[in-house]
Structure 1
Amino acid sequence: MERVRGIGGYFLRARDPEGLSRWYRDNLGVVAEDFDGYWFQQGGPTVFAPFSEDTDYFGSPAQKTMLNFRVVNLDAMLAQLKAGGAEVDHRIETDDNGRFGWAVDPEGNRFELWEPVDGISDPGDLV
């Protein structure tokens, strides 16, 4: 059976696509300008997980998806986002897979930041 190899793109509606692209570039280092900018990711696992339609994990019930970004240093990334004026959730959660934090982009899209534990490099490593 053929299998996909990971997420090849993430697309979202935006009131100001150029402004939101700049925000993601300036605050998270994600190059998302037009289709000429490709963001080459460092290797690592990607989780695909449907959630119950009544979950509050994404924040607003109107938000149908949430993107999770792998980061090396969660504390530094959250501080960078705060310094840039982003809404940052004060909670940090930790489990056997690593540490998790959340923030909201200028258009109200909540996203998750994940600092994996050392050694997670294969889906079989996830707890």
Structure 2
Amino acid sequence: MTIKVKKTGLILLTLAASFLSGFTASTMISSNKQKMKRVTGIGGIFFKCKNPKAINQWYKTHLGFDTTPYGTSFEWRDLTDSTKKGLTQWNPFPEDTKYFEPSAKDFMINYRVENLEKLVEVLKKENVTIIDQIETFDYGKFVHILDPEGNKIQLWEPKD
């Protein structure tokens, strides 16, 4: 009887250890997935209009935007580190622009990201449509993707 109890206890202990190690591994894997930040904020709002110059002037006159021919940039500070500055771009485009293609929509949102190369690798594995190659400029790296409804999205890893 003592051998049976010890054997049953050993089996239960082994099962419990297996379950817990599997649960721990699963938790570690899923928490590692969650650690990679994807989108960290909105980098810009771009939209089509009949007359970008007139729209820029209207927003300047009535809403106080400090517009240029390229729209305006809103500067802000990082919530967790107030020494870090960021920009969000607002920009009207001519209604006949091809820049938003292949999307047929009249707008495009730019999202800020932390690690564009890593994010693109993940998105490819998730079968997200990547429209172009990552491009690098003095102010950051960019790539375009499509959401399931065909909206073109610009991802931007800024050099703040």
Using the size of structure 1 for normalisation, the TM-score is 0.56
Indicate which of 134, 137, 144 corresponds to 1:92: 134
Structure that is richer in helix per residue: 2
State the number of aligned residues.
80
What is the distance in 2 between the residues matched to 1:99 and 1:71? 10
Deviation at 1:90, TM superposition (A): 3.1
Structure that is richer in strand per residue: 2
Deviation at 1:47, TM superposition (A): 0.4
Show the counterpart of 2:123: 81
Q: What is the 5 A alignment of 1:16-31? A: 28=38
What is the distance in 2 between the residues matched to 1:29 and 1:73? 10
Instruction: Kindly provide the CA deviation profile for residues 41-60 of structure 1, in whole angstroms up to 9, marking residues without a partner as x.
Output: x9321100111212121113
Deviation at 1:62, TM superposition (A): 2.2
Show the counterpart of 1:72: 114
Name structure 2 gaps, 5 residues minimum: 1-37, 41-76, 79-85
Using the size of structure 2 for normalisation, the TM-score is 0.45
Q: What is the 5 A alignment of 1:1-127? A: 28=38, 43=78, 44-60=86-102, 62-117=104-159, 120=160
Contact 1:102–1:111 (CA under 8 A) maintained in structure 2: yes
Change (3 A) 1:113 1:29: closer
Change (3 A) 1:106 1:63: same
Which structure has the larger Rg over C-alpha atoms? 2
Q: CA RMSD in A?
A: 2.1
Change (3 A) 1:83 1:70: same
Moved over 2 A (4+): none
| 3-state SS of paired residue (1:75) | helix
Give the fraction of aligned pairs with identical amino acids, expressed as a percent: 41
